[in-house]
Amino acid sequence: MTESESTTIADEAASTTATTATTTDDGRTATTDGGRTTINDERATPPEPERANRNDDRLRNTADELDVRTYLYRGALVVLVLLAVVALFQFYMSALNVIRTFVAPQYRSLFNAIFNLVVLLAAGIGISFVIREMD
């Protein structure tokens, strides 16, 4: 075997084991390496403009749905807060009635002051908690 024949055989072997890449009909990339074919799921061509527009529409619809859902939740929160304020006011008035009913007249102002102080402290703690959570 001469040097030129060995080079030719080596070139043929190299050409049969060389890696080649082709694109299949559905846009996937097929790589052939030494007789083995590997198909990549990544698309070789960019998405069509029509498909990109559909994706943008879906994102816009999702954003609109989130806006509607956010408004519904905020509305529900406002209604629930109003109910809580009314219930708190009713509780406050009932507690004052209980003090008027069960506490002797000379001690009513003392009990009213203590009750109002407890309500004020509870409101202050709640307000400070909300302000810390907002930051």
In contact, 30 and 39? CB cutoff 8 Å: yes
Average pLDDT across the chain, whole number: 75
Question: What is the tens place of the pLDDT at every residue in 116-130?
Answer: 999 999 999 999 998
- Residue 9 within any structural domain of the chain: yes
- Residue 101 within any structural domain of the chain: no
Question: What is the tens place of the pLDDT at every residue in 49-92?
Answer: 566 566 666 666 566 667 888 888 889 999 999 999 999 999 99
| HSE (side-chain half, CA atoms, 13 Å) at 71 | 5
Q: What is the pLDDT of residue 130?
A: 86
Number of H helices, E strands in the chain: 3, 3
- Residue 35 within any structural domain of the chain: yes
- What is the domain range of residue 27? 3-43
Question: Does the predicted model carry a pTM greater than 0.75?
Answer: no
| % residues pLDDT > 70 (the chain) | 52
- Residue 32 within any structural domain of the chain: yes
**Number of domains observed in the structure of the chain:** 1
